[in-house]
Each structure stands twice: as C-alpha cells, then as structure tokens.
A = this chain, B = another copy of it.
C-alpha cells in the first residue's frame, strides 16, 4: 500500500522501516527534517512539509500520525484543510480516547475517515512487530489490512491457544478491530494500566528479596524505630539477577516484562544507573478515571500509579502532615533523613 507517516521519533521511524521491509511505499515527514533525511529505505520518500506529503500521496490518501498526543490536535488544524473526501487519518500515538471520539465526529463532517490505533511493543517492535488495537469505522479499518498485517507480529509470535480454530481472527496476527471511535485507544489505555500493575508487582516482590538480609544489619534502637522482632528470619543474601533468570523458565510468573528485568539486572545488578524517579505517561491515570466513572474497583492499578507519584516526591506534603500530627500528640521529633 501507499501510506504517509508523520512523526519519525523512535516509534514512527521503526514503523516506517518495518513497512518498507513489508513492501509498502511510504511518504514520510517530521518537523525535524534531519529525521526525514535519515530514513533511507526502499520505497520511502521524504517530504519537506505536510503540504508536500499530502501532494505526494495517491488518493484516497492514508496518513498515519505518530506524534506526541499533546500535539495531535494542533497538527490536525494544519493537516485537515489539505485533505479531501475519503482520505483516512490514523492516530497511532497515545491520544486520550475522549479526543478520538471528538475527532471522529469532526472529521466525519468533512468526509474524512479517522482511525485510532493503540500501538504496543516499544523499541523492540521493529523486530517483533507491534500489537495493534484499532477503533473507528470497521470498513475503513478493513481497507488497511495490508498495513496492519505488516506492522503486527504475526501468528508465530505466540503459540496457538489450545482449543482455538487457527486463523479465524486477526487477533492471532496481533491486530484487532475493537469497536467504534476511541475503542482502540481505550483498549490500549487499559493495557497500559495493567502494565503499571504488573510492573509494580515484580518491583515490590524484588524489593522484598533485596531486603532479605535486613536481619544482618544493625538497627537504631530508639523510640522512633520499630525493632525487628525476628532477625533470624532475614539472613539471606539473594542474587536477584539469577532469581529473575530462573523464574523465566517454568514459573507461573514468566513474562516479557520479567525477561526485561533479567536483562536489566544482568548488566547492573544493583541498578546503580537509576535513581528511582519513575515517570508515567498518562494512560495509567486515564485508566483509573475510567474505572472510577464505571464504579469498578482498581486497588492494584491505583497503588501502582501512586507509587510512581510518590517516587517523584508528590507525597511529601502529606508526609509532613503526618509528622506534624505525631509531633502534636506524642511530642515525636522526626528522625533525620540519611
């Protein structure tokens, strides 16, 4: 197929490469023109402006946006006037699904098709393919089948689910039409919410293993320190990298995120390269807000997000309140931070 790609960051550039390998012709553009020049793959042509990109594409045009969510609306005000009836715009980034619902409606009024495609896979997606969750008009989505087939990991990326008739659904290829506008980003949003929870489960467990030798250490003896009642139970010096590795084979918790943990701990077992300030990219927050609207209890997903907030110092004021109360009722003074 013929497709335009706008946004050539880590994700966009890799997707162009994968599309090129799959035999598709791409016209590519980025505000950073250097990024455009770098993409020298078979079938890939650069554009110097949105106008140029639009002009180079066959009609009806298919344009895939892979740009920061915060810049999509602004960019669309530039792009939409250049498009014509039956053209299709795909937002493959991390937009909030509320925005997709709005945009879908607005574009429909202009006769332009809109798809929201949640894309998962990170930097290894180039090799492994991308898991694609698609929202919008079903017929429009179907016309893009060749593109999705190329970008997705394909059926061999996982074993056949027992009892499943093979090849009856695209889900087995790694892409799925999920529903009307916003459904793709909704499913991707929840995917990321789950991701935070899964990551936190490993991280908390590893932290327990990391502290398995606290019984060996001396502890302050003062009124502000709870004594360890049974130091004899915490005398283990565990090798966390090896434990991550052994769990990769045969354990119930084997997963790709565990594979990545094993990689990270191999080269830097104490994780000295990291300070522990953890970002979040929005989807985890929106997942909670959806759950709260629905009255669905999500204590695990919430705790996972809040740990990230706390890692950035956002609990500090609350903690000061606690210390202030303790000072008032018990005359407790804070211990100095080490």
Contacts and interface: CB of A to CB of B under 8 A. Distances in A.
A335 to B, nearest CB: 6
Contacts of A292: 285, 288-289, 305
User: Top 7 nearest A-B pairs by Cβ distance?
Assistant: A197-B201, A255-B255, A276-B319, A174-B249, A131-B250, A299-B303, A297-B306
A322 B251 contact: no
B208 A322 contact: no
A293 to B, nearest CB: 6
Given A180-B236, A238-B187, A311-B315, A152 B228 contact: no
19 contacts: A122-B329, A125-B250, A153-B250, A172-B245, A182-B233, A194-B202, A197-B205, A203-B319, A204-B299, A211-B296, A252-B329, A255-B257, A260-B324, A264-B324, A273-B324, A275-B337, A276-B319, A277-B337, A278-B319
Given A122-B329, A158-B249, A310-B315, A243 B187 contact: yes
Contact of A234 (B159, B262, B294, B327): B294
Nearest to A70: B227
A323 interface: yes
A2 B266 CA distance: 36
A157 B302 contact: no
A174 B191 CA distance: 29
A128 B120 CA distance: 28
Contact of A162 (B173, B263, B280): B263
A13 to B, nearest CB: 12
Given A178-B238, A191-B252, A265 B324 contact: yes
A277 to B, nearest CB: 5
A21 interface: no
A96 B229 contact: yes
